[in-house]
Amino acid sequence: MPYCPECGAEVYASAEICPSCGTRLKKPHTELPRNAHGDLVTGEKSEVLAVILGFFIIGAGLMYAGRVGLGIFHLVLSILLFWTILVPLALWIYGMLKGYELCKENNMLWLQYLEENR
């Protein structure tokens, strides 16, 4: 059986509060974090993978990063305006950079959540 770190009394492993001194033994888990767009952050995402996906398919990096609608919009717009060359090129570059940025933000929020719930 574990012991209370404050008073040293023996406590049940499932106890959240020490019955002897009232010290909280376990931190209550906080709600999963949300990013700036209101989406739940549920784990780490690879920034490199977002860039690689975005390199091969316009909008795929955005979709991987959680912005599926925006990624599909970029893909469809690039297909419709392929003849302009500049619009697909701008969307291609923007998609890779934004996918990287979104994954980085996601990972920062996830690491903060893990630190708070140790």
Please write the tens of the pLDDT for every residue from 48-83. 999 999 999 999 999 999 999 999 999 999 999 999
Take residue 5 and report the two structure tokens written for it. 């770190």
Q: Is the pLDDT of residue 11 over 90?
A: no
Residue 114's Cβ-count burial label (10 Å; 0-12, 13-18, 19+) is exposed
Q: What pLDDT is recorded for position 59?
A: 97
> What is the total residue count of the chain?
118
Mean pLDDT of the chain: 91
